């Protein structure tokens, strides 16, 4: 089954539903590279594939445009296989601790309150630009210990790299070069002016003599800065989009905020912030659902499609915040690459969504749903803008 990137943007759920019925693995055209792409569509297959050592991360750099593979951006956990992945994750985990994350709770609440106060002075707002983006971005900057950098520049670089993550366009090459240069300067500054934030800890992180080398360090900062806000932006934006469509559900969450944690699991399942896991390559021939994937080809492991697999989630196209199996979703991945920042993302989402619902009981769309644009590409699922009337 052939799949274009256009349909992945416009209405991926209908396409994925058809795929799951027809095949466990859908072929994705990748131009004239001579390498094919294969998308794993079903839940049990995806969960198994996420732990399959025959689907490796490292070799994918070999088929990327060489100008896009920057040493200072690519030597991180999401591009590493065992045992190197375990080494990197262990070093990061020494600093990225539950205690450090929990200590952020009052600050996240304050940032949310400040952003809501700024919006409350207006009649309308863009929930992406005015809230869903600046909240997690400011949190991750403060967690790492970097100054509030030029948000417009950083957001532009990040969007280009993620929306065109397999394409060596002049814009994406320039964004990669700018991002690498900026992060290298951040690390140099923090090395000369250390503090008690995460980046200074990572510079000093060591375990039995092991340390992050310079490219590993800058790559890790890149991963934390980008992954630490991009998916949470989509989570908050997608959640509010769903609630704006369903004001009765929003009212029930206002009346009973204790329902918000399970609602967040349903947001993650129903409108997953990430469509597919980051790339893997089959290092030997593998078979999923009776479909063979030859060695040397790229594998996209679906996250959005499995989250609506009817064999796991009854009536998967029904949005239900009381769904008991919602937390079985794969939105944060599975196995050794399970998202390290999942607890932080959940905390941010609970505070962010609860704050908006409480502050703006009359919140509604300020544009027709048909006018809202989703981010392009194979990787992310999120709205580019979400204009709303606040009162």
CA–CA gap between residue 2 and residue 109 (Å, rounded): 45
Cis peptide before 344 (omega within 30 of 0): no
In angstroms, what CA-CA distances link 248 with 113, 211, 242, 313, 342?
A: 24, 52, 11, 23, 28
Choose among 309, 270, 336, 279: nearest CA to 45: 309
pLDDT at 210: 76
Confidence category of residue 308, pLDDT binned at 50, 70, 90: very high
Tokens representing 126? 């863009």
Choose among 390, 388, 391, 359: nearest CA to 127: 388
Asked whether residue 147 carries a pLDDT value surpassing 80, the answer given is: no
Over residues 231-245, the pLDDT tens digits come to 999 999 999 999 999
Q: Are the C-beta atoms of residues 13 and 316 closer than 8 Å to each other? A: no
Asked whether residue 1 carries a pLDDT value surpassing 50, the answer given is: no
Domain extents in the chain: 5-389
Range 266-271 average pLDDT: 98
How many Cβ atoms from other residues are within 10 Å of residue 2's Cβ?
8
Residue carrying the six token digits 């088929």: 63
pLDDT at 225: 86
pLDDT at 31: 65
pLDDT at 232: 96
Confidence category of residue 376, pLDDT binned at 50, 70, 90: confident
Q: Are the C-beta atoms of residues 298 and 54 closer than 8 Å to each other? A: no
Q: Are the C-beta atoms of residues 270 and 321 closer than 8 Å to each other? A: no
How many Cβ atoms from other residues are within 10 Å of residue 209's Cβ?
5
Q: Where are the alpha helices (DSSP H) in the chain?
A: 5-10, 12-22, 43-49, 71-74, 84-93, 98-102, 105-120, 134-144, 151-163, 170-192, 198-204, 214-245, 247-255, 260-270, 342-359
Over residues 349-371, the pLDDT tens digits come to 999 999 999 999 999 999 999 89
How many Cβ atoms from other residues are within 10 Å of residue 364's Cβ?
12
Exposure string over 144-161, b if 16+ CB within 10 A, otherwise e? bbbeeeeeeebbebbbbb
CA–CA gap between residue 359 and residue 113 (Å, rounded): 9
Q: Are the C-beta atoms of residues 117 and 356 closer than 8 Å to each other? A: no
Q: Which CATH class is domain 5-389?
A: mainly alpha
Range 260-265 average pLDDT: 98
Q: pTM for the whole thing?
A: 0.92
Residues contacting 97, CB < 8 A, separation 6+:
none
**66 vs 171, residue with greater confidence:** 171
Confidence category of residue 135, pLDDT binned at 50, 70, 90: very high
Range 192-217 average pLDDT: 81
The top-scoring range by mean pLDDT among 15-19, 113-117, 136-140 is: 113-117
Backbone φ and ψ of 119, nearest 5°: -70, -35
Confidence category of residue 157, pLDDT binned at 50, 70, 90: confident
CA–CA gap between residue 49 and residue 173 (Å, rounded): 30
CA–CA gap between residue 135 and residue 163 (Å, rounded): 21
The DSSP symbol for 277 reads P
Choose among 205, 202, 200: nearest CA to 190: 200
The share of the chain scoring above pLDDT 90, in percent, equals 60
User: How do strand 210-211 and strand 280-282 relate by DSSP bridges?
Assistant: unpaired
Residue carrying the six token digits 């979400």: 386
Asked whether residue 208 carries a pLDDT value surpassing 80, the answer given is: no
What is the average pLDDT value for the chain, to the nearest integer? Answer: 89
pLDDT at 199: 87
CA–CA gap between residue 359 and residue 391 (Å, rounded): 10
Choose among 3, 40, 9, 235: nearest CA to 131: 235
pLDDT at 160: 84
Choose among 54, 91, 230, 88: nearest CA to 157: 230
Residues contacting 59, CB < 8 A, separation 6+:
281, 283
Range 271-290 average pLDDT: 95
């Amino acid at each position: 089954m052939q799949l274009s990137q256009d349909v992945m943007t416009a209405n991926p759920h209908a396409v994925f539903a058809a795929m799951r019925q027809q095949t466990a693995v859908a072929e994705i055209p990748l131009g004239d590279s001579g390498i094919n792409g294969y998308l794993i569509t079903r839940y049990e297959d995806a969960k198994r594939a996420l732990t399959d050592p025959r689907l490796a991360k490292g070799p994918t750099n070999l088929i990327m445009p060489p100008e896009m593979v920057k040493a200072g951006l690519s030597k991180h956990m999401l591009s590493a296989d065992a045992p190197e992945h375990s080494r990197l994750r262990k070093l990061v985990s020494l600093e990225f601790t539950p205690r450090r994350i929990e200590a952020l709770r009052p600050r996240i609440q304050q940032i949310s309150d400040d952003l809501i106060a700024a919006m409350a002075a207006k009649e309308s707002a863009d929930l992406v630009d005015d809230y869903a983006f600046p909240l997690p971005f400011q949190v991750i900057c403060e967690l790492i210990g970097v100054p509030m950098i030029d948000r417009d520049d950083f957001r532009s670089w990040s969007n280009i790299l993620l929306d065109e993550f397999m394409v060596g366009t002049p814009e994406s090459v320039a964004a990669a070069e700018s991002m690498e240069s900026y992060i290298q300067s951040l690390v140099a500054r923090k090395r000369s002016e250390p503090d008690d934030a995460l980046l200074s800890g990572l510079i000093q992180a060591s375990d039995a003599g092991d340390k992050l080398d310079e490219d590993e360090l800058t790559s890790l900062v890149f991963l934390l800065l980008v992954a630490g806000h991009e998916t949470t932006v989509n989570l908050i934006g997608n959640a509010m989009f769903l609630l704006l469509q369903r004001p009765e559900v929003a009212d029930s969450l206002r009346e009973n905020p204790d329902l918000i944690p399970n609602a967040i699991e349903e947001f993650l399942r129903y409108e997953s912030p990430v469509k597919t896991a980051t790339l893997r390559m089959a290092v030997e021939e593998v078979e999923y659902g009776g479909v063979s994937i030859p060695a040397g080809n790229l594998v996209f492991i679906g996250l959005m499609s499995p989250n609506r697999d009817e064999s796991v989630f009854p009536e998967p196209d029904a949005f239900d915040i009381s769904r008991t199996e919602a937390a079985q979703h794969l939105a944060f991945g599975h196995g050794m690459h399970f998202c390290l920042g999942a607890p932080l993302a959940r905390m941010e989402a609970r505070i962010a969504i609860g704050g908006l619902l409480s502050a703006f009981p009359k919140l509604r769309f300020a544009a027709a749903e048909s006018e809202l644009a989703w981010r392009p590409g194979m990787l992310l699922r999120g709205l580019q803008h979400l204009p709303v009337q606040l009162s």
